[in-house]
C-alpha cells in the first residue's frame, strides 16, 4: 500500500488529463478536459479539503467539477459528495443499483461492531483510529444522488465508460477511459490496503465486501474484458501492465489479509 500522505494529498498525473490522488488511505481520480473536471469518488468526509487542494494543483476550482461519479457508496468514497453538492451544486452520479445505497435507503457497509471485533489483529487498530479521525462514522447519506446512463460513454470530461462490477457492493461500477488506456476500478480490484500484507493487484480483504467471493470473481471477469494497461484503484498505487494480467494475478490469490469470514453483508 502506498503510504498515506501526512499532510497534503499525493497528487500524481498518470496520463494527460488523468490524475490519481491519494488521501486518507483511499484514492480519487480527476479527469480533465480544458477547464472542466470529472471527479471520480470523494475520499472520506475528512478529505474534503484535500479534494479541493488536489483540484487547485491543476489551476482549477471546485466549481469546475462538472459531476462527481461514484464507484460505490461506501463512506470512504462519498466524503466530498454532500459538501460539493451543497456548496457548488455539483451533481452526484452512480449506477442505478447503487443510488439507493448512496441515499442510505439500504446499507452495504462494514459495521463498527465488526471493526471492533477485528481489533485483535495488529493492523486493524491503527487503521481504525486513522479512518475514524477522517470521518468514517459520519452520516454521508446523499439524498440527491442520481443514476447515470449505463450504456456507452458518459457525456462528461474524460468520457468515462461505466463497467458494472457488482460484488464489493451491489451496484459497484468501474470506469474505462479508452483514450488513456486506463480503468478506474474502485474497490473491485485494488493494489494495496492498510489491512493487507500483499502488494500489487488483489481483492480487498473479504470483510469489506458485501457480496460473495463468487460475485467478486465475476466482477474480475468483467474487468478482464476491458482493453486497458493502466489500473487506477480505489486503494493502492497505480499499476501499469495489461489489465488481464492484473485480473489473473488477483484471481489467483486469496483476498487481502483482513478477516475473511466476517463480511460486510448483514
198-231: per-residue pLDDT in tens?
899 999 887 788 888 889 889 999 999 999 999 9
Task: For residue range 11-55, list pLDDT tens digits in order.
Answer: 999 999 999 999 999 999 999 999 999 999 999 999 999 999 999
pLDDT at position 109: 80
CB 236 within 8 A of CB 26: no
> What is the structure's pLDDT at 208?
87
Q: Give the C-alpha separation, 8 to 182, whole Å.
A: 25
pLDDT higher than 90, residue 2: no
CA–CA separation, 52 and 90 (whole Å): 13
- N-to-C CA span, the chain: 28
pLDDT at position 256: 58
Asked if pLDDT for residue 263 goes beyond 70, the answer is no
Q: What pLDDT was estimated at residue 245?
A: 96
Rounded to the nearest integer, the mean pLDDT of the chain is 91
Looking at residue 225, the DSSP 8-state letter turns out to be T
- Percent of the chain, pLDDT > 90? 75
Look at the domain 10-251 and name its fold: Metallo-beta-lactamase; Chain A (3.60.15)
Q: When comparing pLDDT for 235 and 204, which is higher?
A: 235
**pTM assigned to the model:** 0.92
Q: What is the mean pLDDT of residues 96-120?
A: 88
Among all chains, which residue has been given the C-alpha cell 480490484? Answer: 189
Name the H helices within the chain.
48-56, 75-78, 81-88, 96-102, 112-117, 124-133, 213-224, 243-251
**Which pLDDT does position 242 carry in this prediction?**
96
Band of residue 4 on the pLDDT scale cut at 50, 70, 90: low
- Residue 180 and residue 229 in contact, taking contact as beta carbons nearer than 8 Å: no
Q: Distance between CA 108 and CA 208 in Å, rounded?
A: 9
The C-alpha angle 118, 23, 112, rounded to 5 degrees, equals 25
49-77 pLDDT tens trace: 999 999 999 999 999 999 999 999 999 99
CA 148 to chain centre: 17
Res 6: pLDDT: 53
Cβ pair 52, 37 in contact under 8 A: no
pLDDT band at 92 (very low <50, low <70, confident <90, very high): very high
**Continuous H helices in 91-200:** 96-102, 112-117, 124-133
CA distance 4 to 164: 28
Q: What is the per-residue pLDDT across 115-157, written as a single tens digit (0 to 9) for each?
A: 887 888 888 899 899 999 999 999 999 999 999 998 899 999 9
- Return the pLDDT at 255: 65
- For the segment 229-252, the average pLDDT, to the nearest whole number, is 96
Residue 258 in this model has a pLDDT that exceeds 60: no
Residue 93: HSE in the Cβ half-sphere, 13 Å Cα cutoff: 21
Nearest-CA neighbor of 12 among 204, 239, 249? 239
Query: Are the C-beta atoms of 24 and 134 separated by less than 8 Å?
Result: yes
Taking the CA atoms of residue 102, residue 104, residue 107 and residue 110 in that order, the dihedral angle to the nearest 10 degrees is: 70
Instruction: Say what the pLDDT of residue 210 is.
Output: 85
Amino acid at each position: 500500500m502506498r503510504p498515506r500522505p501526512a499532510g497534503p494529498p499525493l497528487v500524481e498525473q498518470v496520463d494527460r488529463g488523468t490524475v490519481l490522488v491519494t488521501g486518507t488511505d483511499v484514492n480519487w481520480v480527476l479527469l480533465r478536459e480544458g477547464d472542466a473536471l470529472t471527479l471520480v469518488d470523494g475520499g472520506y468526509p475528512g478529505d474534503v479539503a484535500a479534494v479541493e487542494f488536489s483540484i487547485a494543483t491543476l489551476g482549477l476550482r471546485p466549481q469546475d467539477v462538472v459531476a462527481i461519479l461514484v464507484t460505490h457508496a461506501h463512506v470512504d468514497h462519498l466524503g466530498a459528495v454532500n459538501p460539493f453538492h451543497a456548496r457548488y451544486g455539483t451533481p452526484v452520479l452512480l449506477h442505478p443499483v447503487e443510488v439507493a445505497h448512496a441515499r442510505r435507503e439500504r446499507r452495504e457497509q462494514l459495521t463498527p461492531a465488526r471493526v471492533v471485533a477485528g481489533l485483535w489483529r495488529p493492523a486493524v487498530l491503527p487503521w481504525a483510529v486513522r479512518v475514524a479521525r477522517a470521518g468514517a462514522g459520519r452520516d454521508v447519506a446523499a439524498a440527491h444522488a442520481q443514476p447515470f446512463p449505463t450504456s456507452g460513454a458518459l457525456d462528461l470530461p474524460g468520457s468515462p465508460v461505466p463497467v458494472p462490477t457488482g460484488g464489493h457492493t451491489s451496484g459497484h461500477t468501474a470506469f474505462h477511459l479508452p483514450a488513456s488506456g486506463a480503468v478506474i476500478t474502485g474497490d473491485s480490484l485494488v493494489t494495496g490496503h492498510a489491512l493487507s500484507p500483499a502488494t500489487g493487484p488483489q481483492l480487498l480483504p473479504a470483510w469489506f465486501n458485501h457480496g460473495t467471493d463468487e460475485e467478486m470473481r465475476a466482477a474480475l471477469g468483467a474487468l478482464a474484458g476491458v482493453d486497458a494497461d493502466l489500473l487506477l484503484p480505489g486503494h493502492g498505487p497505480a499499476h501499469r501492465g495489461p489489465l488481464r494480467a492484473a485480473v489473473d494475478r488477483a484471481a489467483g490469490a486469496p483476498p487481502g489479509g483482513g478477516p475473511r469470514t466476517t463480511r460486510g453483508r448483514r
